[in-house]
Amino acid sequence: MRVFQRTIAGIKFGILSPEQIREMSVAKIVTPDTYDEDGYPIEGGLMDPKLGVVDPGLRCKTCGARAGECPGHFGRIELARPVIHVGYAKHIARILKIICRECSRIKLPQEKIDEFRKRIKNARKIGKDEEVIIDELYNQAKQVKVCPHCGAEQGEIKFEKPTTYLENGRKLTPSDVRERLEKITDEDAEALGFDVEVARPEYMVLTVLPVPPVTVRPSIILESGERSEDDLTHKLVDIIRINQRLQENIEAGAPQIIIEDLWELLQYHVTTYFNNEVAGIPPARHRSGRPLKTLAQRLKGKEGRFRGNLSGKRVNFSARTVISPDPNISINEVGVPIEVARELTVPVRVTPYNIDYLRKLVKNGAHKYPGANYVERPDGSKIRLDKAKSVEKALKELDVGYIVHRHLQDGDIVLFNRQPSLHRMSIMAHEVRVMPGKTFRLNLCVCPPYNADFDGDEMNLHAIQGEEARAEARMLMRVQDQILSPRFGGPIIGGIHDHISGAYLFTKKETKFRREEALQLLYIAKMYDEIKKLLKEKSEDGYYTGKQIFSLILPEDLNLRYKAKVCKKCETCLEEDCPYDAFVVIKNGKLIKGVMDEKSFGAFAGELLDRIVKDYGTDKAREFLDKITRLVIAFISKRGFTTGIDDEDLPEEAKQRINEILTKAEEEVQNVIEMYEQGLLEPLPGRTLEETLEMRIMQILSEARDKSGQIANEYLEKIEERGKLNGARIMAISGARGSLLNLTQMAACVGQQSVRGERIKRGYSGRTLPHFKKGDIGAKAKGFVKSSYKSGLSPTEFFFHAMGGREGLVDTAVRTSQSGYMQRRLINALQDLKVEYDNTVRDARYVIVAFKHGEDGADPARTDWGKTVNVKKVIEKVISKRG
Amino acid sequence: MAKKKMLSEKEKIMILEKEIKDRIPLSLYEELKDEVLKVDLTEDELKEVIKEVKKRYEFAIVEPGEAVGIVAAQSIGEPSTQMTMRTFHYAGVAELNVTLGLPRIIEIVDARKEPSTPMMTIYLEPEYAKDREKAKEIAKKLEMLTIGDIVERTEIDMIDSKVIFYLDKREMERREISVEDVVKKIKIKAEKEYDEDKIIVKAKEPSLRELRRVREKVLSTYIRGVKNIKRVVVRREGDEYVIYTEGSNLKDVLKMEGVDYTRTKTNDIHEIEKVFGIEAARNAIINEIIDTLEEQGLTVDIRHIMLVADMMTVDGEVKAIGRHGVSGEKASVLARAAFEITIDNLLKASVKGEVDELNGIIENVIVGKPIKLGTGMVELLMKKEYEQMRGA
């Protein structure tokens, strides 16, 4: 079999000439009525059967094809009088201003016209914008008062939106306009930027209106059996009606005024038919008062044809449901509910090798799980396997060359996506794990790239239909291949929340396990090989340390040193001898010193993870993440981990000290205010006195908040040292969730509330709330919240806090829309750039944008945090081989 | 056993130059050289280092077909959701307000004619940079001063048809300017009187309009300084004094004596383009975006930003990302129509008889052809003869 493939090489744009419109038209539309009493379409009406079919079962009167196959055919309306095409109204105005009213030549000497023509031709050849040249011509010619060709005196042309032209105050009819445009020579038209092959100036004034086929404007039948026509049909009815009346009046020899009125009405209808949002005229409305959606509205905007149907399309073979976590599946997998697996299918071609297997699936049919929904014959017709009878038939028929659309099964590769799809890691390929339940399940480590949580988030899943796509998904899009972000060349997939706090507790010095405990843990985590390894290790009085067990998942020849997140940034780092166990040392795959926390394997920051992906490959990295999730989650589930309001309990002494600090700060603020009032305050250079005062106050208060936080942290630490573990603090210092600032706000002091980066100042005249004296600019009166979240806020504090909080919400809302639009623009501007085989970066015009990507030709996703080669690491590695 | 010997510096450089210099980017080579010179290595070890560096560099090279543009756009767009909207004061210089965060990035990408908060960082030549007084001297010369800056309030006297300007003495003291100096600058041909704390200017004709005109004219009278430089702050940075200004006028500032024109900069990209040219503008775009992102604590690989800057500057002038710039000048009609201003683009294309060659991405998505990026870039064709041979 020979396959002939035709591809579109290019698309040329032009304006339809009246002759072309007539030629492509299959029916002349004359009556405004659509259907007769029996419900049959009237010939010569807008639903003329020659225009194509939409009702199933009928055949097209023009091409004989059935609905769905017949693309539809154009008809036409012969306009009684010409009308202006709104889209070109402005263009026509420009032309009228620069051509002679008598001879229609451009009002410039012949040589100049020739020169402009040449320049335009040249500009087109090199792909430059010719608009600038035409503008120049326009500016030169519009001033000319006497035609250099025929010597006629020129009038002043005024354009009144949307479609009226005045010459010396007298209205030009579209017929007059058309006449002038017709007389423009081809050469002159070229100088005006026309491609006369496809667009003569007079085509911009319509004499015949093409009527789009019914397939473009299908009517819908309401439940009541009533037909409801498309907006375009409504508009065309209006046009025909007025056109008919105009024709009749002309033939009857009606007075000029009546004809002109009707003509103008026709112009209005044709105008709104093209664009119902033209400035200067009221939009045509539906009976209900809703403005009609006409041609321009169909194409325009986000839901328009271009952005809504051509750049982005709806798809089949997709599913959407709520997501929930499952630490027991691999990062590469996705848990798919059985209901979904039964609905989504994968096409499999029947071969002698798989026919038995596929027969089993077909036998199960559409309803029993590992089954199939359709059997497709080589000719493309399908048998749906939802009934016992059809299953039987399909079984009998099934043969090599057929295609079985079988249910989604374990191991199938699918695409998984969460909106907003801000980067390429928002769509990744996962392997299917069919499981009970009604949600998609995913490993927690892949939350960061999707930016997903489980408070009701939903995600989409797409079943891949072709081998080519499947291969690409598996080779390029799998989760494990996306661990390194192309944004900065570090890991974007990694541990979050409980992984981090769990690993922190697990690898702390004190954490020890009895042999049974350790083995149980490894067994729960399904780390069977590691069990053997552990048994070979020495235990300390029958105890294994957390570090020892953790080392089991590290590659055996790994050597690494770095500072952990818990590092207190002492002045001189003691490195290995860090008293807080904050310096991580891994020697030959053994965790010797240091705790595991966010800096180890957290998303965005994990150094250990970073090292594993880069040096050992993505397979090892996936394994590492899978194991660490299972191990650490098993551990923390067994051990238990919680946080509560008592995590912020402070002893009386601490509370007193905090109160002292805050009171002192308030006093200090008062002092500064007094200084200001006495005129003793020195303004900062370039600032007014008031600004200086505000800055001083803000500084004092923020220092006070920080200090109170430090005190709180000090005491919390002390309590922890006495053996009582503090969940909130552990989360904050290990980087699992929250920060020390959050702790400060809960335990010590919430601090200054701000709106627009300033202390709160709006409200009543001279004060923020009626609770304060007028002119009071002290700490309390301007939104300083002295209380902590735990102790509770006073009514005024609460109100200020709500003000600050509201600003935050508004800010986020505004930001998402702004950054979304910026990203759309960036993508649109850069999307055509690609790397060529010669390593240059070029755009769609084939213009070189960069000789080497990023000046060194590197792919950021393959760099080490932006470095093409980490020379230090290479040398370290070579030297370490010396032994 | 000669191979066990540690190499001398000279030997190392010799080997490096011979083996690798022309195969990797210069910056990487320099780094390699520095690092290698720091440690003791045998010849074998050095060769192994070189081999490994070569291998890793080759691994890091972008593959042909990679959609670098889209990746760059995503890499800048994605973190921008996390940026703040507010204008904060500049890190370190509490005295100046500078637009930062998302609004600043948008401003740069839009290639606005003027940044919302133009700002300059002026470095001084050594003999001025170390001396606080001399630096202040320059700062004083820089700051544009109008009479409005030193007038506390004005009064219009309708009876005698005169305008009274009450001077802000504190401000005058700070700016070291005397009443006489100020009066000298008033160029209006009118009777002028003055004393310690006020200046009186009489209007020629007794009309309120004339009086107001006089007032405006006097207030906007230029006394001294560089145009557009509104506020000046001198700060010590390391061992030198640096001047920060609100407002920007690169051309005039660079001409001033004592200004180190090699380091002085502005955040006005168009000004840089005008004064230094397109390559400098490209660097300015890169630096401004990087600074803004860094200030927000976001890490984005510089290569992505370079690409955006390259795209904005390929045609020799700074163009905006968006319908008035890069996107509006695309060759493809469909691509333009699919972005914004759909209708106008289609109508214009029809007049010109434009042909869409379908070279870009969206055009091909629209007509339903495979796009030419990544794996779609490969154009392997089977030879007819081979196909026939197989079929037979």
C-alpha torsion sign, points A708, A709, A712, A713: negative
- Over the stretch A497-508, which tens digit does the pLDDT of each residue have? 999 999 999 998
**Least CB–CB distance from B350: residue in A15, A296, A822:** A15
**Least CB–CB distance from A874: residue in B52, B62, B352:** B52
CA distances from B364 to A685, A832, B334 (A): 59, 11, 9
Chain A residues whose beta carbon lies within 8 Å of the beta carbon of residue B75 = 423, 486-488, 860
Cα A750–chain centre separation: 36
- Over the stretch B17-56, which tens digit does the pLDDT of each residue have? 888 878 888 888 888 888 888 888 888 888 888 888 888 8
Q: Could you tell me if A343 lies within 8 Å of chain B, comparing CB atoms? A: no
CB under 8 Å, gap of 24 or more: what pairs does B5-10 form? Answer: B5/B42, B5/B43, B6/B40, B6/B41, B6/B42, B7/B40, B7/B41, B7/B42, B7/B43, B7/B46, B9/B37
Q: What gap in Å lies between CA A430 and CA A416, rounded to an integer?
A: 7
Label residue A532 exposed, middle or buried (CB < 10 Å: 0-12, 13-18, 19+): exposed
Strand ranges in A54-169 using DSSP code E only, listed in sequence order:
75-84, 157-160, 164-167
Q: Could you tell me if A684 lies within 8 Å of chain B, comparing CB atoms? A: yes
Smallest CA–CA distance from B51 into chain A, residue: A874
Q: What gap in Å lies between CA A753 and CA A760, rounded to an integer?
A: 7
Q: Identify the structural domains of chain A with CATH numbers, from first to last.
A: 87-203 (no CATH), 318-482 (2.40.40.20), 498-639 (1.10.274.100), 645-810 (1.10.132.30), 834-882 (no CATH)
pLDDT < 70 regions, chain A = 1-4, 685-686, 883
Chain A residues whose beta carbon lies within 8 Å of the beta carbon of residue B324 = none
Chain A residues whose beta carbon lies within 8 Å of the beta carbon of residue B232 = 686
Q: What gap in Å lies between CA B46 and CA B249, rounded to an integer?
A: 52
Cα A191–chain centre separation: 43
Q: Do A854 and B232 touch (CB under 8 A)?
A: no
Alpha helix positions (H), A275-334: 295-299
Query: Among B30, B35, B81, B174, which would you mutate to test the A interface (most chain A Cβ atoms within 10 Å of its Cβ)?
Result: B81
Q: What gap in Å lies between CA B360 and CA A588, rounded to an integer?
A: 51
Report the pLDDT value the prediction gives residue B2, as an integer from 0 to 100: 47
Q: Which of A392, A396, A398 is nearest to A348 (CA)?
A: A398
Name the B residues in 77-136 with CB < 8 Å from any A CB.
77-81, 83-88, 94-96, 102, 105-106, 109
Token output for B353: 């008889």
Please report the ipTM that was assigned to this predicted complex.
0.89
Report the pLDDT value the prediction gives residue B91, as an integer from 0 to 100: 47
What residues have CB less than 8 Å from A469, skipping those under 6 apart? none
Under 8 Å between Cβ of A629 and A499: yes
SS3 B367: helix
Chain A residues whose beta carbon lies within 8 Å of the beta carbon of residue B332 = 844
- Over the stretch A345-381, which tens digit does the pLDDT of each residue have? 999 999 999 999 999 999 998 999 899 999 999 998 8
Residue-wise over A447-483: b if at least 16 C-beta within 10 A, else e? bbbbbbeeeebebbbbbbeeeebbebbeeebbbbbbb
Query: Among A853, A867, A872, which would you mutate to test the B interface (most chain B Cβ atoms within 10 Å of its Cβ)?
Result: A853
Q: What gap in Å lies between CA B243 and CA A618, rounded to an integer?
A: 50
10 Å Cβ neighbour count for A853?
Answer: 27
Report the pLDDT value the prediction gives residue A476, as an integer from 0 to 100: 93
Q: What gap in Å lies between CA B192 and CA A346, rounded to an integer?
A: 93
Q: Do A844 and B331 touch (CB under 8 A)?
A: yes
**Least CB–CB distance from A193: residue in B24, B109, B351:** B351
Smallest CA–CA distance from B105 into chain A, residue: A822
- Over the stretch A563-596, which tens digit does the pLDDT of each residue have? 888 888 877 787 778 888 888 888 888 888 888 9
Q: What is the pTM of this model?
A: 0.88
Rg of the Cα atoms in chain B: 31
Report the pLDDT value the prediction gives residue A168, as an integer from 0 to 100: 85
pLDDT < 50 regions, chain B = 1-2, 91
Q: Could you tell me if B376 lies within 8 Å of chain A, comparing CB atoms? A: no
Start-to-end C-alpha separation, chain B: 65
Token output for A373: 């929904």
